[in-house]
Amino acid sequence: MQKQFYPVIGTEKALPFYIIGIGVSCWQFPVSRPEGYDYPQLFVCLEGEGEVTVDGKTVKIMPDSIFYIPPHCPHEYRATTHSWYLDWVCFDGKQALELLKEWDLNKFHVFLNCGAERMHKLFDSAYYTIKSDKAYGNYYASAQLYDMLLEYRKLSDDKFPYKSRVNSEAVAKVMKYTEENYSKPIKLADMAAVAGVSEQHLCRLFKKNFSIRPMEYLNTVRISHAKELLTYSSKTVAEIASETGFSDSSYFYVVFKKHENISPAEYRKIKA
């Protein structure tokens, strides 16, 4: 049975990364996109063989391979055997493309015979995370998507594979912890403890990968949830500030306006 899912996208647009659509162990039909696709796409070849054509160059795709197609890149792909089974994900986010560009990975890439088992497990986990929780699944899957991108990066930089894996797991742990505990008081020391690294190293990881510090990332998550409450609840601004982890409504006001360029009350009025 084909497993694919397209979540409804709402306030997830404020996240650094979020999934537009995902498929696991899907039988792949022929695809031709002369104008490209609006979102970046990452694929894992599980079974069978196929070929991908980009810029007039055709590459044969074998099992245990991973390939990436950037947005707006004309391409086509099709099976060359009776059946061709792929995992796929298309995604977006405020920092998704910036991150790939910074890594010099926002271009067509194919990694053959690369040991894709861990990537397949990440796809499978993200699929069930999103499908099992339609309200918050994409928030939780944001960390899993980041881990997919780090795994993809590791394939292009095999000089320090162990270090890359440890760093990706450290950041993913913090993202998951932040999403599950954003309403509580969180200090940098708490994040570092969850990641199993020093505070300084955690700051370097977030700065390198997101161009922001861990506490700034925490505020991004909190503001995203606050926007949802402002839109869909009748709670006061002070109540929303408290429920999303801000120590007082004045600080919440300052952070919200910095992120959205309008006050919480103005945002609610627009969304009402």
Question: What confidence score (pLDDT) does residue 8 get?
Answer: 80
Residue type, position 17, single letter: F
Contact in structure between 83 and 103 (CB atoms under 8 Å): no
Per-residue pLDDT of the chain (272 residues; tens, 9 = 90+): 568 888 888 888 888 899 999 999 999 999 999 999 999 999 999 999 999 999 889 999 999 999 999 999 999 999 999 999 999 999 998 888 888 988 888 999 998 888 788 899 999 999 998 888 877 788 888 888 998 998 888 877 654 444 445 566 788 889 889 989 999 999 999 999 999 989 998 998 888 777 889 999 999 999 989 998 998 899 999 999 999 999 889 999 999 999 889 999 999 988 76
pLDDT computed for residue 159 by the predictor: 41
Per-residue model confidence (pLDDT) at position 135? 76
Cross-strand bridge partners of residue 90: 21, 41
Task: Go through the domains of the chain in sequence order and give each one's CATH number.
Answer: 3-158 (2.60.120.280), 177-272 (1.10.10.60)
- Residue 268 exposure: Cα atoms within 13 Å on the Cβ side: 15
Cα 204 from Cα 223, distance rounded (Å): 23
The pLDDT score that the predictor gives to residue 160 is 42
Distance CA 158, CA 115 (A): 12
What six digits make up the tokens of 146?
């980041």
Q: Given this model, what pLDDT does residue 1 score?
A: 55
